[in-house]
Amino acid sequence: MEVAAEVMGALPVDDVPAPLRPFARFERRKRAKLAGQHIAAALEKDDAFRRRVAEPLRDGQADLVAAVEGRDVPPAADPVRVAMLAYLLRPEGWTELVESAREELERSASASEEEAAERRVAALKAELAAARAARAAELDRLRAELRESKAEVAELRRKLHEARTRYRAAEERAGAVAAEAERALAAARESTAASEKEMRKLRARAAQAEAAAETARRAAREGRNVEDVRLRMLLDTLVDAAQGVRRELALPSTIERPADVVGALEPDRQPHRALPGRALSDSDPQLLDRLLTLPRVHLVVDGYNVTKTGYGELPLSDQRTRLLSGLGGLAAQTRAEVTCVFDGAELDAPVAISAPRGVRVLFSRPGQTADELIGELVRAEPQGRAVVVVSSDREVADAARRANARPCPSTLLLRRLGRS
């Protein structure tokens, strides 16, 4: 059947029996598996099909085919292959060849079983010898351990006798020390009485010193309050003067932040190449909430890492819209600076994105990954500012940690947005 299944694919459709034609288009292994019964029936009933199946064997195994047709099969021939050729070619007396092949297979199986039994007996004898040797070795080891244990018991008895002798000597010394301690305690009591008398004198002096210090502190607070009022008036004057200079020079009312100057593509202006898509522990549920309470914290979000973790089944545009909507609410609640970075390689055309208030949206430039852009944003921040990088990418988290930023898994941000 395997030979017929292989030959069927190369035969013209007209040469394939009608029941087998639906299977001729299948892959060879699939034909042999699904059409086995049909192939067997066709080989048994259709002599022409059986001869066509045997034709390639005449060319590929000409010597064995000639031996089968001449009923002069070599002793070393494979019985299975001889039976297959006899069935397909069907020379005179082919059933005897098949029966001889079956008997040969049975003899081979019987010989294999006898050899396996002999090998098993030999293995068991070897295991028995090894077990006996191991038992003898174990007995020797136990005898040696017994001798060592006896020697150890004798040594322990000697040490116990010495310890008892030392204990009696120690008891005698302890009695002498106790008597000396009684004498020292009596002397200490006399010294304590004198010390208490001196302590009362010192406490009286300390009370007088504390009263004087409190008077001095009260005077210092009154003087400091006057200085604080003067400093506040000076600060208000400087602020008013600075505002007047800003209006006079027409300076901008806001100061650029470091993340505003990092190079990136505006989402609706530049086309992007179409490339294939690419303290608390990090798992603590309270980590992100704690970080968002830091003053002037900068939250840098690996956009597609978060969206594909939470709702990767949506189209990319819907993923961006859903994430930015949630980040807008988070920025309004926490007053944190929020920057969301997307990989520009995911875009094949310019996009129009309406970023929520308080959320900066950046796309990586051509030839630049979102991970590299996140690294630039972190390095642009001054030392000491709290920067949190949200990404479950191990490389991004490690790079953020090396740049003194705090990485946070995407799952925590998704959980936080879900509560909002």
Token pair of 265, please?
């593509």
CA dist 51 and 90 (Å) reads 10
Mean pLDDT, the chain, integer: 81
CA dist 24 and 33 (Å) reads 12
Looking at the domain 263-419, which fold is it? Rossmann fold (3.40.50)
Express each pLDDT in 147-167 by its tens digit. 999 999 999 999 999 999 999
pLDDT surpassing 80 at residue 92: no
Query: Among residues 150, 138, 415, which one has the least CA distance to residue 292?
Result: 415
Model pTM above 0.85: no
CATH 3.40.50 intervals, the chain: 263-419
Q: What percent of the chain has pLDDT over 90?
A: 35
Torsion of the alpha carbons at 328, 331, 337 and 341, rounded to the nearest 10: -30
Judged by average pLDDT, the poorest of 57-61, 274-278, 280-284 is 274-278
Average pLDDT over residues 410-414: 94
Average pLDDT over residues 342-353: 74
At 339, which helix (H) or strand (E)? Answer: strand 337-342
pLDDT of residue 306: 95
pLDDT of residue 285: 82
pLDDT of residue 122: 87
CA dist 245 and 277 (Å) reads 51
Express each pLDDT in 35-87 by its tens digit. 777 777 777 777 777 777 777 777 777 777 777 776 767 766 777 877 877 77
